[in-house]
Chain A
Amino acid sequence: MKVDGIELNKIRDNLWEIPKTDGMRVPGRIYISREMLESTLSEIEALKQVMNVAHLPGIEKYSIAMPDIHWGYGFPIGGVAATNLDEGVISPGGVGYDINCGVRLASTNLTLEEVQPKLENLISKLFQSIPTGVGASGAIKKLSKSDLKKILEKGSVWAIENDFGNQNDIKFTEESGTLRNADFSVVSERALERGADQAGTLGSGNHFLEVDVIEEIYDNKVAEVFGLFKGQIVIQIHTGSRGLGYQICDDYLKILIKASEKYGFKLPDKQLACAPIKSQEGRDYLAAMQAAANFAWNNRQVIMSLAKKCFQDTFKIKESDLGFNLVYDVCHNIAKIEKHKIDGKVKEVCVHRKGATRAFPPGSDMIPEKYKSVGQPVLIPGDMGRYSYVAVGTEKAMEETFGSSCHGAGRNLSRHKALKEAKGRDLVSELKKKGIIIQAKGYKTIAEEMPLAYKDVADVVDVMHNEGITKKVAKLKPLGVIKG
Chain B
Amino acid sequence: MPSKHNFISHTADIAFEVEADSLEELFVESFYGWFNSVIFSDNELKIHSEMFIEIKADSLEQLLVDFLNELNFLLITKKILCLRIENLTIDKRNILLNAFIRTHNLEDTSIIKSEIKAVTYHQMEIIKKDNKYFVKVVFDI
Contacts and interface: CB of A to CB of B under 8 A. Distances in A.
A97 B140 contact: yes
A251 to B, nearest CB: 10
A194 B109 contact: no
- Residue from A43, A135, A269 with most neighbouring chain B CB atoms (10 Å): A135
A118 interface: no
Contact of A411 (B11, B79, B118, B138): B11
Given A134-B115, A441-B110, A71 B77 contact: no
A270 B76 contact: no
A416 B140 contact: no
A36 interface: no
B33 to A, nearest CB: 14
B141 interface: yes
Contacts of B115: 133-135, 203-205, 484
A415 B139 CA distance: 13
Interface string A72-102: 0100010000000000000000000110000
Interface stretch (A177-185, A253-261, A385-393, A462-470): A253-261
Interface in B92-141: 109-110, 112-115, 117-118, 120-122, 124, 138, 140-141
Contacts of A194: 73, 76-77
B95 to A, nearest CB: 13
B89 interface: no
B36 interface: no
A205 B141 contact: yes
A208 to B, nearest CB: 14
Contact of A257 (B62, B117, B138): B62
A135 B38 CA distance: 12
Interface in A166-207: 190, 193-194, 203-205
B9 A416 contact: yes
A204 B110 contact: no
Contact of A246 (B9, B12, B117, B138): B117
Contact of B73 (A70, A133, A190): A190
B70 to A, nearest CB: 10
B122 A70 contact: no
A247 B115 CA distance: 13
Nearest to A96: B140
B140 A135 contact: no
Contacts of A98: 117
Interface in B39-76: 58, 62, 69, 73, 75-76
A413 B117 contact: no
Contact of A133 (B9, B109, B120, B124): B109
B117 A97 contact: yes
- Residue from B7, B76, B79 with most neighbouring chain A CB atoms (10 Å): B76
A414 B58 contact: no
B76 A71 contact: no
A414 B9 contact: yes
Contact of B77 (A43, A97, A133, A243): A243
Contacts of B9: 414, 416-417
Contacts of A5: none
Contacts of A270: 121-122, 124
A249 interface: yes
A7 interface: no
Interface in A398-453: 411, 413-417, 441-442, 444
Contacts of B114: 134, 204
Contacts of A193: 77
A168 to B, nearest CB: 32
A73 B120 contact: yes
A250 interface: yes
B118 A442 contact: no
A294 to B, nearest CB: 19
Contacts of B120: 73, 271
Given A133-B109, A134-B112, A205-B141, A414 B121 contact: no
25 contacts: A70-B12, A71-B11, A71-B12, A73-B121, A73-B138, A97-B140, A134-B115, A135-B79, A194-B76, A204-B114, A204-B115, A205-B115, A205-B141, A246-B117, A269-B122, A270-B124, A413-B11, A414-B9, A414-B12, A415-B14, A415-B141, A416-B7, A416-B9, A417-B9, A441-B110
Q: Which 6 A-B pairs have the closest CB atoms?
A: A134-B115, A270-B121, A246-B117, A97-B117, A134-B112, A135-B76
Given A243-B77, A254-B62, 5 more contacts: A70-B12, A73-B122, A135-B75, A194-B73, A194-B76
